[in-house]
Chain A
Amino acid sequence: MTETAERDEANDEPLPLAGLKVLDISSFIAAPAAAVTLADFGADVIKIEPFDGDPHRNSYRNPGYPQSDRNFPWQLDGRHKRSIALDLKNDSARTILDRLLARADILIVNFPPPARERLRLRWEDVEPINPRLVYCSLTGYGETGPDRDRPGFDVSAYFGRSGILDAARYEDGPPGLSLPAQGDRATAMTLVAAILLGLRRRDQTGKGGWVGTSLYANGVWANGTSAAGALIGAQLPARHPPDRPRNALTNLYRTQDDRWLQLLVVRDDRLWEKFCAAIDRSDLAADPRFADRPQRRAHALDLAAELRSVFAARTYAEWECALEGTGIPFGVIGRLTDVIEDEQARHAGIFVDTTNPEIPRTVNNPIRLGFATPRPAGPPPAVGQHSEEILREAAFDEAEIEALKKSGALG
C-alpha cells in the first residue's frame, strides 16, 4: 500500500481510481484482467487465492500457449496486485474475508453460482456485511437459466456458443479459431464498465449493488450484427475461401515470402487498367474475360487464378513498393513478430515498459485518459506474498495472524 501511495504522489494528478479497494476472488482471465485494469488506474487490488494459487499462474505451461520459460500470462493478469492466500473452505478464513469485505469498495467473483452459494459469497450474502459494496460477478452463461452452473471458458462460451466460430470460417471449412483468452480480455472491458456504473450509482445513492456480465453475452454482443440479423431470420452469407472468391479484386493472395496481401480494389470500375499496369500484367486489361466489372465477376475464378500466380512471384516488400502510391488499396495480414516493433503501436500506447527485468514490456490496457497514465507494472505477486501486510491493514494483530496461520485458514 505504501508503494502505491508513493507512486500516486509521484504523479501530477492522482489516478482516477486511487483510494478504491478491490477484492479479486476470481481465477483465470476475464475477471482478473478487469481487476488489472482497475489497478492500472490506481485501485488497490487484493487478489485472494487458494494456497496453491490461481491456476492461471500455470497457464504458460498450456500447450496451446506460446512456449516460454517466463510466466508471461501471469505478468499480464497479475500486475499491480497484492496476494493473500486464504482457504475459503476453512471457517476462520471467513472471519478474515468478512473483515476485508467490510472495508472493500469492489468485489470481483467468477465462481460458478453453486460455489458462490456454498462459500456464502452471493451478493445477498455479502450485502449485510457491506451494503456499499459494488459486487461484480462474471459467469460463463448468465446468472440464471439451464446453463448457469456450467463453467464457462472463452472458447466455449464467448466464441463457440455465440455463433462466432461457426460464422468466422470459409465455406465448407472447419469452424474458425480463437486465440488464447481473446474473448476473456474483451469481456474484461465490459466488466470494467459495469463496475464503473456501479460506482456511479453508489455515488448517487450511497448504495452498493450487483453488477455483472457473462462471456456468452459478450460473445453475442461481439457477434451482434449477425445475431441481430438472425433474430429476424437473416442469414450470414457463406464466406468463400481465397481460391474461390466472389470478387477476385477484393481477396487475399499469398506472396512469395508467405505473407498474405489483402487486395481491396472496390472501385475496379476506375482502377482496373491502372491495377493491371501496376502488377505488370497489361495483357489482363486486354483480356475479353475481364473487360468490365460484370465480366470480371463472372470470371472471378479465372482472374483469381491469374492473380494468385502473379502475387506468388514476388515478396510482400516488393509488392508494397510496386503498389504504394498507385491508389490501389491493399494491406497485409500483420504478424505479431512485426507488431511488437510497430512504430504505430508505440504511438497508440499499446505496449509499455515494466519494472520487471524478466518481462520488460507488457500489453497496456486499451483505455487512454488525457488526465492520467496507467501505473507502471512491476512483477506480479507470489501466492500469499502480502497475506500478513493485508491483514495488518485490516487491523488484525500479530497474535490473530499467527493463530490464523496455525489454523490453516491463512497461507
Chain B
Amino acid sequence: MTETGLPLAGLRVLDISSFIAAPAAAVVLGDWGADVIKIEGPDGDANRTIMRDSANYPKAEVDYPWQMDSRNKRSLVLDLKQPAARAALDRLLAVSDIVICNFPPPVRDKLKLTYEDMKKVNPRLIYASLTGYGETGPDRDRPGFDVTAYFARSGLLDAQRYEGGPPGVPVPAQGDRATAMTLVSSILLALVHRMKTGEGSWVGTSLLGNGLWSCGVIAQAALVGAFLPPRPPLDRPRSALGSIYRTADDRWIQLTIVREDKLWAPLCRALGKLELIDDPRFAEIDERRRQSAALAAIFRELFATKPYDHWREALAAQEITFGVISRPQDIPDDVQAVHAGAVIETAIPALPRTIANPIRTSFAEQRIAHTAPKLGQHTDEVLGEVGLTADEIKGLRSSGAVR
C-alpha cells in the first residue's frame, strides 16, 4: 500500500479518529506515501454519513466528503471496548510509526488509548493527539467541533461581522481542515525528533489553539489591550480602497489596496475617473479615510455600471490588487485552481476530481485518490499483515471484536 519515492513511503499510520480535522491529517500523510489504516468502531466513523446528516452540507448522489477525508485509507473494524480487540490493536501499534487519536480524554483513559498506554507497546511510536480545547483544563473533556472550538470560542465569529449584525458563519469543516495541516506539521516534527534520538513522542494540537493562531493578529492585539473596532457596514467602510463592490452582473469585486500611495492614481484610471486623481477631497490618504463614505458611494456607483469581466481587465491593466468573491461553483472551472494544484484528478469513476492537500514539492507528487474504503474492507488483510493467523482472525470475528 505504500509507494516508493514519496517522502512518507514506508510509514504506517493508524488513524483512530473521527470526523474531519484528524482524519484529514491522516489523508495528507497518505497523499505523501504513508500506509494509512483507519480503525473504526462497528458503526463506522460518523463522517461516513455526515453529508446526509448535516443540514449545512451540499447534497449529492456521491458521498464526496467521505471520499475526500478517507482517500487511500484501508479500513479495519475493531470494537475497542472488547479486550480481544484492544489486544489486536497492540499488535498493530507494535509495528506502526504514527497513531492519530481524537477521542476526548476520558474515552482515551477508559479504552487505554493514552500515549502512556501505547508507549509501553512501542517506544518509537509517534502519538498525535487532537482535542477541541487542549489536554488539560476545565474544558478538556468537552467534545470540540470546529464551529464551537475553532470559530466561536476563539472569538473569530464575534469579530467576523458587520457592526450591529449577527456573528459570522464558517463554511463546513473550514477550521478542521486548517487544523489538519498543523497536526501534519507536528507529526513531521516528531519524525525529525525520532530520527535524531530514536525515540517516539507525543505531539498534538487543539481546535481552539488553531482558531486563535489563525486570528493571531487580533489575538496579539487583544493581549496588549487593543481590539478590532466593529466592521462598519459597506456604505461607510473605514477605507473605500479596502472594501467590496457589487458589479453590474451581481458579482463582488474586493479592492485590497495596501500601498495606496502608489496605487491611487492607477485606480482612478482603471475606474475611468481621471478627475478623481486630483480631487482635493481625496488627495491624500488622510482625506480619503475621512471621506471614505463619499468615496465608497462614488465607487459603488461606478462598479455597478459594468460587469465583473470589464473590471477584472481594467484593474489588472493598472496593476491594482483586487480579488473577486468567487462562488464555490466557480472553482471547478477555474483554470488557476488546477495550476495551484488545488483541484486534481482521481481514480474514482463517480468522483473524477477532488481537492488536493495544499503542499507541493518538486520531488514528489501526491498519490492519486482511490475509492475510500467500505467499513471493515481491509480487516483481514491488515490483521494478516501484522501476523494474526487466519484462526485468530476468525476467533475475533466470531466474538464480535472485529468485523
A residues neighboring B (CB under 8 Å) = 13, 16-17, 29, 33, 37, 41, 55, 59, 62-68, 70, 72-73, 75-76, 123, 139, 141-148, 150-151, 153, 155-157, 159-170, 173-183, 185-187, 189-190, 192-194, 196-201, 203-205, 207, 209-214, 216-218, 220-237, 239, 241-242, 246-247, 252, 254, 260, 262, 331-340, 342-351, 359-372
A146 to B340, CA, bound (A): 11
Write the B138-173 contact mask toward A (1 if CB under 8 angstroms, else 0). Answer: 111000000010001111111111100111111111
Shortest beta-carbon contacts, A-B, top 4: A156-B323, A145-B339, A347-B137, A348-B134
A122 to chain B, nearest CB (A): 11
Smallest Cβ-Cβ distance to B20: which chain A residue: A225
A29 to B201, CA, bound (A): 30
The answer on a CB contact under 8 Å between B359 and A166 is: no
Residue B279 interfacial (CB < 8 Å): no
B residues neighboring A (CB under 8 Å) = 7-8, 20, 24, 28, 32, 55-62, 64-65, 67-68, 115, 127, 131, 133-140, 148, 152-162, 165-175, 177-179, 181-182, 184-186, 188-193, 195-197, 199, 201-206, 208-210, 212-229, 231, 234, 238-239, 242, 244, 252, 254, 256, 258-259, 289, 316, 321-332, 334-343, 351, 353-364
A33 to B215, CA, bound (A): 12
The answer on a CB contact under 8 Å between A163 and B239 is: no
The answer on a CB contact under 8 Å between B169 and A68 is: no
Q: What residues on B are CB-neighbors of A203 within 8 Å?
A: 195
The answer on a CB contact under 8 Å between B152 and A186 is: no
The answer on a CB contact under 8 Å between A179 and B360 is: no
Q: For B155, B217, B222, B289, which residue has the most chain A Cβ atoms within 10 angstroms?
A: B217
A401 to B124, CA, bound (A): 48
The answer on a CB contact under 8 Å between A368 and B60 is: no
Q: A153-B258, A339-B155 in contact; A228/B64 too (CB < 8 A)? A: yes
The answer on a CB contact under 8 Å between A147 and B336 is: yes
A157 to B358, CA, bound (A): 13
A45 to chain B, nearest CB (A): 16
5 contacts across the A-B interface (CB closer than 8 A): A16-B190, A177-B160, A185-B216, A189-B213, A197-B8
The answer on a CB contact under 8 Å between A362 and B223 is: yes
The answer on a CB contact under 8 Å between A223 and B56 is: no
Q: A66-B222, A141-B336, A174-B162 in contact; A156/B256 too (CB < 8 A)? A: yes
Smallest Cβ-Cβ distance to A254: which chain B residue: B166
A263 to chain B, nearest CB (A): 12
The answer on a CB contact under 8 Å between A334 and B57 is: no
- SS class, residues of chain A in contact with chain B: mixed
A216 to B342, CA, bound (A): 8
Q: What residues on A are CB-neighbors of B360 within 8 Å?
A: 143, 194, 211-213, 217
The answer on a CB contact under 8 Å between A344 and B139 is: yes
The answer on a CB contact under 8 Å between B337 and A220 is: yes
The answer on a CB contact under 8 Å between B354 and A167 is: no
Q: What residues on A are CB-neighbors of B165 within 8 Å?
A: 173
The answer on a CB contact under 8 Å between A227 and B137 is: no
A161 to B199, CA, bound (A): 43
Q: What residues on B are CB-neighbors of A222 within 8 Å?
A: 171, 174-175, 177-178
A311 to chain B, nearest CB (A): 13
B294 to chain A, nearest CB (A): 16
A73 to B239, CA, bound (A): 20
Smallest Cβ-Cβ distance to A239: which chain B residue: B169
Q: What residues on B are CB-neighbors of A359 within 8 Å?
A: 220, 223-224
The answer on a CB contact under 8 Å between B186 and A369 is: yes
Q: A144-B339, A194-B361, A213-B360 in contact; A75/B220 too (CB < 8 A)? A: yes
The answer on a CB contact under 8 Å between A231 and B168 is: no
Q: For A162, A177, A199, A231, which residue has the most chain B Cβ atoms within 10 angstroms?
A: A231
A64 to B28, CA, bound (A): 34
Smallest Cβ-Cβ distance to B327: which chain A residue: A166
The answer on a CB contact under 8 Å between A370 and B203 is: yes
The answer on a CB contact under 8 Å between A231 and B217 is: no
Q: A179-B159, A201-B363, A348-B133 in contact; A366/B205 too (CB < 8 A)? A: yes
- Tell me which of A144, A177, A224, A363 contacts B220 (CB under 8 A): A363
The answer on a CB contact under 8 Å between B209 and A350 is: yes
Q: For A29, A67, A177, A343, which residue has the most chain B Cβ atoms within 10 angstroms?
A: A177
The answer on a CB contact under 8 Å between B156 and A370 is: no
The answer on a CB contact under 8 Å between B321 and A156 is: yes
The answer on a CB contact under 8 Å between A179 and B330 is: no
A91 to chain B, nearest CB (A): 26
The answer on a CB contact under 8 Å between A334 and B158 is: yes
Q: A179-B160, A228-B64, A236-B58 in contact; A198/B361 too (CB < 8 A)? A: yes
A204 to B174, CA, bound (A): 34
A219 to B273, CA, bound (A): 34
- Tell me which of A59, A236, A333, A349 contacts B167 (CB under 8 A): A333
A182 to B243, CA, bound (A): 17
The answer on a CB contact under 8 Å between B205 and A368 is: yes
A207 to B325, CA, bound (A): 40
